[in-house]
Chains A and B, each alone.
Chain A
Amino acid sequence: KNQVEQSPQSLIILEGKNCTLQCNYTVSPFSNLRWYKQDTGRGPVSLTIMTFSENTKSNGRYTATLDADTKQSSLHITASQLSDSASYICVVSGGSSNTGKLIFGQGTTLQVKP
């Protein structure tokens, strides 16, 4: 069964600290993996996309890693800011990019406190 599991479910950190969010998937065949950020009351916004051959990709203070062998991805946030408080959703695309299904994780809710 195609699944995407994220951990932890929620996380509270102090401003300025780093954190790492985890995503494990069992989607096959694999096309790509995206991390989305969803602010409260808004729609998800894409942060990064990674394909099978990519190990690391950065977007500012966000760094995503992918281990296609173990089917694990992580999203590392460096020097957190209050604006990083949001839900982070891991999304895996199975099959071809145009016809494959998107499998969504349940998300990790991050709260950054001053």
Chain B
Amino acid sequence: DAGVIQSPRHEVTEMGQEVTLRCKPISGHDYLFWYRQTMMRGLELLIYFNNNVPIDDSGMPEDRFSAKMPNASFSTLKIQPSEPRDSAVYFCASSFQGYEKLFFGSGTQLSVL
């Protein structure tokens, strides 16, 4: 298995633009997580899905953030409109049966100018 695949690896955009981050989880995993990592706050859970259904989105910072999981092999995290304070590394992770062991993707480095 290729592991969790995220795209793009790097994204540079201007304030106000829409940003879409993509994730393909490991086949067979039933949980998918979106995390944000910054130097100041470390890793923060944004939202997670179980069997494609959003379970906990309490970490989503604002209405500008939205996440979808239309099927078991694909998820998106969208920021619209983007702001400079959204600049961070966004990780997608997947697991089988909950929090036992998370497998992280390589992340998307987002820079909002």
Contacts and interface: CB of A to CB of B under 8 A. Distances in A.
B91 A99 contact: no
Interface residues of B: mostly helix, strand, loop or mixed? loop
Interface residues on B, range: 10 to 19
B106 A42 contact: yes
A97 interface: yes
A106 interface: yes
A87 B97 CA distance: 26
B100 interface: yes
Contacts of A107: 42
Interface residues on A, range: 20 to 34
Contact of B107 (A42, A49, A96): A42
Interface string A87-114: 0010001001111111011110000000
Interface of B: 4, 42-45, 91, 93, 97-102, 104-107
